[in-house]
Structure 1
Amino acid sequence: MSGNKDSDGGWKNFVWNSEKKEFLGRTGGSWFKILLFYLIFYGCLAGIFVGTIQALLLTLSKDKPTYQDRVAPPGLSHTPRSDKSEISFKKSDPSSYSKYVQSMNEFLELYNETKQTGDSYEECGTSPRTYKDRSMEEKKKVCKFSRSLLKDCSGTDPDYGFMEGNPCVIIKLNRIVNFRPKAPSNNSLLELPVKVSSNEIPIYCKLKRAEDEGQIGEIKYYGIGQGFPLQYYPYYGKQLHPDYLQPLMAVQFVNVTEGKEIRIECKAFGDNIDYSEKDRYQGRFDIKLTVS
């Protein structure tokens, strides 16, 4: 019993020694010095860290990425998006394609003419033209792009062709700050069945598998020309170009054979647009289309 008391008394004495006025083995002055040391030490570390970050931020521009040397060529994306790029629906069942219609409506809302008003918007023509250099503009203007240019895929048909089994897909080229897509040279036009302007990035879709030949009656294209006109480029970034609208291309698949999965590949063609086996959306995309 006496041993336990001594042990208990020793523990209490370590926490607070009333004779030496020590708390946890240190006097008040000792605690003040060590806390002051660590306060200064960690304060200096925090100051060095903040100073380093501030110095780094001084080398970066808020308007555009400073380092883009490893940025891949732009991706080609489509709406509606779906899991595993599958678009599958039943013509007689609106619930099977309602999610596709909703995503198309939401995406095209920004392209309503009522949204494109004010001094920041301007008409840039309805035919492909060369680049718009806006480097001298303090507030970058935006080329208008009305959804009405997409004609049968603009929403005049509220079901975007899904009810009739002729679905629409909206295509865009992903944004890269200050990127100027180059129109394809003659050597890269071998895959294109139509003549295109020298001021556009053409889009072309085709059946990916030989066994799907004849499973689609026609592929229709809607937009300005056969693809993305150059007057919509370059894009200057969110800070300088907050209202920027990407040009769009609509593709409609007409008279699709029912009950069969059809593989379709769409590509953007340009001298500085490449394709990668590792990234299936770099300059192109595949979709699996099933209509029943």
Structure 2
Amino acid sequence: MANMRNGMTTNEMPYAKPEERSRWDAFRLAIYNPSTNEIFGRTCSSWAALMVFYSIFYVVLAAFFAICMKGMLHTIDEKEPYFTQDRSLIGSSPGLGFRPISPDVEKDGSLIWYQAKNATNVKTWTDRINTFLEPYKKANRGGAPNTQPCDFNNPPRPGMVCTMPMESWGRCQEVNGYGYNSSTPCVFVKLNKASSFTELETTLNFGIFGWVPEYYNDTEALPEEMPLTLKNYIRTRSPKETQRYVVRFQRNTVWVSCEGENSADKENVGKIRMYPTMGIPGYYFPYLNQEGYLSPVVAIYMERPTPNVLVNVECRAWAKNINYRRHSTLREGSVHFELMVD
């Protein structure tokens, strides 16, 4: 039991009031304490040990990262993606895109609406087409690398890509204002990797790597749902016996059809022409990440759509390995746009 002395047990210590310091003194001692030789709460030897530990730790971490990066880069090809087609997020079924797109996509969506007699309004749309077609014009002028004119008798040489025959686009040429000033507008449709409208807001000038179309080149095995006008177009490409092989080879085409979505739209859209042909020739495929490659384009010319009437148009690509789905937000193998000419 503790002894008592002057009313206080012998194992008790008297309370010592802590030294009062100003805020400046407390701050100064936190930086350097002369009584303990501590800098920011640590002695020099403690700081040295800490520096050595973290130096070794980060050197080892950097070396491990470099080894992993070297291994990953060793598996990556500069030309060919590691995952392609069904193994990739893009998939193996290309989509269709169209141009021009409204300057205000958030507001107008896929609507092409303009006044044919309003020069400023017309220029807005033709300028957007010019911007889209500029890479194609540059390639035709010889300003793009590895490009050549192609046809079925003159496919691209190894490492080369085909230019677009823009001179065969009929009324859908810049010299004609793409038909916008005469109420006969042109829309340009192209294959690309996109399958929904939101993806089309960017300029996509490439396709699915390594994708090769499976053509509808047998006139006896055309899909039942294929539009009659397209069927007739394919079937009429059957001239003399001596040319049968050549013509069958020319049927190696990704066919494209465009028409109004319902009976009223079919009537109001009027006659539709396509340039240079009703499809994309097979010599544009496959896309192998060639330098200078541009996604092939079909020019859609609409002759006198009914003025002041909103027309819904659907364009569809036809190949055995192009999936088709007509859902508004999950559309595949086709593209939808609305047209109204005032």
- Normalised-by-shorter TM-score class: 0.7 to 0.9
Pair 3,19 (structure 1): closer, same or farther in 2 beyond 3 Å: closer
Q: Percent identity?
A: 25
Q: Which residue of 2 aligns with 1:209?
A: 262
Q: Could you tell me how far apart the structure 1 residues matched to 2:279 and 2:311 are? A: 23
Partner of 2:39 in structure 1? 23
RMSD: 2.6
1:176 equivalent in alignment to 2:208: yes
- Aligned match of 1:282: 332
Please state how far the C-alpha of 1:290 moved relative to its aligned partner: 0.6
Task: Determine the C-alpha separation between the residues in 2 that align with 1:11 and 1:257.
Answer: 82
CA contact (8 A) 2:145 2:292 kept: no
Counterpart of 1:150 in structure 2: which amino acid?
Answer: W
Q: Note if 1:163 corresponds to 2:215.
A: no
Q: Secondary structure at the match of 1:234?
A: coil
The gaps in structure 2 that reach 5 residues or longer are: 1-16, 193-206, 235-249
CA contact (8 A) 2:145 2:291 kept: no
| 2:204 alignment partner in structure 1 | none
Hey, what's the Cα distance between the residues in 2 that align with 1:118 and 1:88? 33
TM (norm. structure 1) is 0.85
Q: Does 1:120 align with 2:146?
A: yes
Task: Give a deviation string over 1:94-123, Cα, whole Å, max 9, x none.
Answer: 222322101111222233365236883333
Alignment partner of 1:263 is 2:312: yes
Q: Does 1:291 align with 2:324?
A: no
The residue aligned with 2:287 is 235
* 8 Å CA contact 1:129, 1:229 repeated in 2: no
Distance 2:282 2:262 in 1: 32
**Mapped partners of 2:22, 2:262: distance in 1:** 85
Counterpart Cα distance in 2 of 1:165 and 1:228:
26
1:98 — aligned with what? 123
CA distance in 2, matches of 1:119, 1:7: 75
Equivalent in the alignment of 1:247: 296
> Does the 8 Å contact 1:116/1:144 carry over to 2?
no
Give the Cα–Cα distance (whole angstroms) in 2 for the partners of residues 153 and 257 of structure 1: 19
Seen in structure 2, the aligned counterparts of structure 1 residues 291 and 16 have a Cα distance that, compared at 3 Å, is same
* 1:191-222: CA deviation from partner (whole Å, max 9, x where unpaired): 13233252101110111022334213210111
Cα distance 1:10–1:228, how it changes in 2: closer, same or farther (>3 A)?
Answer: closer
2-structure distance, mates of 1:178, 1:104: 28
Which segment is superposed worse, 251-260 or 20-29?
A: 20-29
For residue 260 of structure 2, what is the amino acid of its counterpart?
L
Instruction: Please report the TM-score for the alignment, with normalisation by the length of structure 2.
Output: 0.74
Larger of the two Rg values belongs to structure:
2
AA aligned opposite 2:48: F
Distance 1:30 1:123 in 2: 73
Deviation at 1:16, TM superposition (A): 2.0
1:220-245 per-residue CA deviation (whole Å, 9 max, x = no partner) reads: 1111x3110001111111xxx11123
Bigger mean CA offset, 258-267 vs 274-283:
274-283
Shift of the 161–10 alpha-carbon distance from structure 1 to 2, 3 Å rule, reads closer
Q: Report 1 or 2 for greater relative contact order, CA contacts < 8 Å, sequence distance ≥ 6.
A: 1
Offset at residue 15 of structure 1 (A):
3.5
SS class of match (1:96)? helix
Change (3 A) 1:51 1:164: same
For structure 1, the 5+ residue unaligned runs are: none
